[in-house]
Structure 1
Amino acid sequence: MPKGIEIRDAHFPGRAPIDAYGNGGFRFAEMSHRGSLLCLPSGIHGWDFTEGDALDAEALSKVLDEAGEIEVLLVGTGRELRPLPQSLKAALKARGIASDPMSTGAAVRTYNVMLAESRAVAAALVAV
């Protein structure tokens, strides 16, 4: 018996370079997504985060859950570089993850290069 429309969290079950960003979203794997993204070893996930929200361990809990497979986390903080709070840097470092905040555009470009090099990289990309 049909249940009607099922709303699920946005998730692409694989790794893919980001083809474009802007206008409040991203394009990758011949798809588009409005809003922010977490690019993790488990795939690309929609991230309920907007520019100016507090960056903390709770906001990046999905990243921390996959810590064993991530060496570097690129954090695209929006249009401008925003430093990561010391408590977040410490939580990431405690799990063996180096963090590197930068503008979203720089994070997208760096992520694509590191992904092409098969590096253990993840990205938290705030939509611009």
Structure 2
Amino acid sequence: MPKGIEIRDAHFPGRAPIDAYGNGGFRFADMSHRGSLLCLPSGIHGWEFEEGQPLTSEALARVLEEAADIEVLLVGTGRELRPLPQQLKSALKARGIASDPMSTGAAVRTYNVMLSESRAVAAALIAV
């Protein structure tokens, strides 16, 4: 019989606006999460990604898996805007997803507006 704390993948099974960000994490749906997030049609998922790591198709594999339900992917690239690599932009475009990189703060604000408009939006938010 296992002992101790069971660590599970962080997942909120719904769509919710992001209430706050900073100090290395986010607040949403009366919860807080330390680290980066993927906000997808299937819910809000913890994302093992840190500012400065290369953005690749592998890093966003879960986004690509849910591509049928996503029209726009907002990528919060951290404190500053970082352009997306061409290979990643091409992989997203091939699945019908428009990508828009911006600072994490701008991505949070844009995501909340698009979510309130019931748009088919997803966000990859790097913790700041």
| TM-score for both structures, normalised by structure 2 | 0.97
Deviating beyond 3 angstroms after TM superposition, the runs of 4 or more aligned structure 1 residues are: none
Task: Name the residue aligned to 2:120.
Answer: 120
Task: Name the residue aligned to 2:71.
Answer: 71
Task: Name the residue aligned to 1:105.
Answer: 105
Structure 2 counterpart of 1:83, one-letter code: P
Task: Name the residue aligned to 1:3.
Answer: 2
User: 1:3 & 1:59 partners in 2: Cα distance?
Assistant: 31
1:21-71: CA deviation from partner (whole Å, max 9, x where unpaired): 000000000000000000000000000000000100000000000000000
Instruction: State how 1:53-64 maps to structure 2 within 5 Å.
Output: 53-64=53-64
User: 1:82 & 1:51 partners in 2: Cα distance?
Assistant: 10
Task: Give secondary structure in 2 for the equivalent of 1:26.
Answer: strand
* CA displacement at 1:6 relative to structure 2: 1.8
Task: Name the residue aligned to 1:82.
Answer: 82
* CA displacement at 1:3 relative to structure 2: 3.5
User: 1:80 & 1:123 partners in 2: Cα distance?
Assistant: 16
Task: Name the residue aligned to 2:34.
Answer: 34
* CA displacement at 1:120 relative to structure 2: 0.2
User: 1:66 & 1:105 partners in 2: Cα distance?
Assistant: 24
Give the aligned CA root-mean-square deviation in angstroms: 0.7
* CA displacement at 1:98 relative to structure 2: 0.2
User: 1:36 & 1:10 partners in 2: Cα distance?
Assistant: 11
Q: Percent identity?
A: 85
User: 2:51 & 2:6 partners in 1: Cα distance?
Assistant: 28
Task: Name the residue aligned to 2:17.
Answer: 17
Task: Name the residue aligned to 2:51.
Answer: 51
User: 2:121 & 2:7 partners in 1: Cα distance?
Assistant: 29
Task: Give secondary structure in 2 for the equivalent of 1:106.
Answer: helix
